[in-house]
Amino acid sequence: MTETASSSSTTAHPAGSSSALPIRQERGERQAFCGLSGIVWLHRKMQDSFFLVVGSRTCAHMMQSAAGVMIFAEPRFGTALLQDRDLAGLADANDELDRVVRELLARRPDIGTLFLVATCPSEVIKLDLDTAAARLQQSHNGRVRILAYSGSGLDTSFTQGEDTCLQALVPHLPELPAMERSLLVVGSLADVVEDQFKRLFDKLGIGPLHFLPPRRAADLPPVGPGTFLIAAQPFVGETIDALRERGAHLIAAPFPLGIQGTRAWLHAVAAAWGVAPELVDEVIAAPAARAETALARYREQLSGKRVSFLPDSQLEIPLGRFLARECGMQLGELGVPYLDRRLMEPELALLPANTRLTEGQDLEPQLERLRAERPDITVCGLGLANPLEAEGLTTKWAIELVFTPIQGFDQAADLAELFARPLNRRQRLGF
């Protein structure tokens, strides 16, 4: 969807920042994908959950398009459609919602946690899903946990849907017993990536280890003053704040993208845990060496190529750092939907000194700058990719970088390949 605001542009130098990079701040028309998209990976991650979108037919069509058509298995999401009578206030939307939930739980007794997901239409008619969730939880005698969060398309970035979902879980996390400590990794990761990190943390003697979201929503991790947090995704800032309010401590680190990012991420956790750096280097030596060998072939293809990022997923800064430092790419404009300094400060310090960083978006002026520069590859949202390709620009869908396992040593080469593919395709087509 496209939103419009008054256009403005300023350049800021962040006070107290470890990075001296000037940041161009833009406010105007922006291109943003819907926050409901987070359901596509969250419903696969938490396998005892169900996401009931309370919205219009447009919301249902968007979910079907984003997730693809599932023929052989019933998905763990659906849409409670708001009809014209609901939107006009001629019907009691709460009564209809109660009926839909009752029928859903009778048909799907395997559901352990039910998320009621607010949308633009449900928020416009002021449907209070938090109150509805509490009422439904009581009426179903606690057989199922029922929570509500907003997946509204009015959010700044489509990945904020995960942040609001995880934030809704935080009040329900059990209390970590006093005098105990644990490590909590925050942000959705593919199961294969979780398993790889778990093996490394086990070798370092770091644990108990938990992930949020867990693989089953019923297995919520404990949190308390002994909890150390490390972010695995850059779009979980509000969840981090909610966890800190419960006493947890944030470990500042770059994100585990590429060899350098993963090494720094693991070293930061080890330092907080009191593990010697020498042990970390010993444990990661073999996977880091494998990653370096696998990455070399793509570095040859990518080195010297220019890449620009339009603001979309919040992954732009760590991706830009990886491509510049480990693949030898030149950074054009690096656009981010918003800059969360709490999580991004370690990344900002690793960007090239000449990086042109833009926070927010004023779409048309940004597209004009892109057309003038004509980078070798542009990372952008789905709504812009095809029009830019028609203009002869090579693009990469930002959303694919959210769906694909890209964190950790073993995925470093896979991450580089995602950027090499569009360039190879363009070359083969002879454009």
CA distance 217 to 361: 35
Residue found under tokens 């944030």: 250
Q: Would residue 54 be called left, alpha or beta, if left means φ above 0 and alpha means ψ between -120 and 50 degrees?
A: beta
Peptide bond into 213 cis (omega under 30): yes
Nearest to 165 by CA among 315, 313, 52, 33: 52
How far is 16 from 13, CA to CA, in rounded Å?
9
Run of H or E including 229 = strand 227-231
- CA 64-67-70 angle, 5° bins: 80
Q: How many residues does the chain have?
A: 431
Detail the residues annotated as belonging to a binding site. Answer: 34, 59, 120
Annotated binding site for [4Fe-4S] cluster: 34, 59, 120
CB 235 within 8 A of CB 163: yes
Closest among 355, 314, 351, 349 to 334, alpha carbons compared = 355
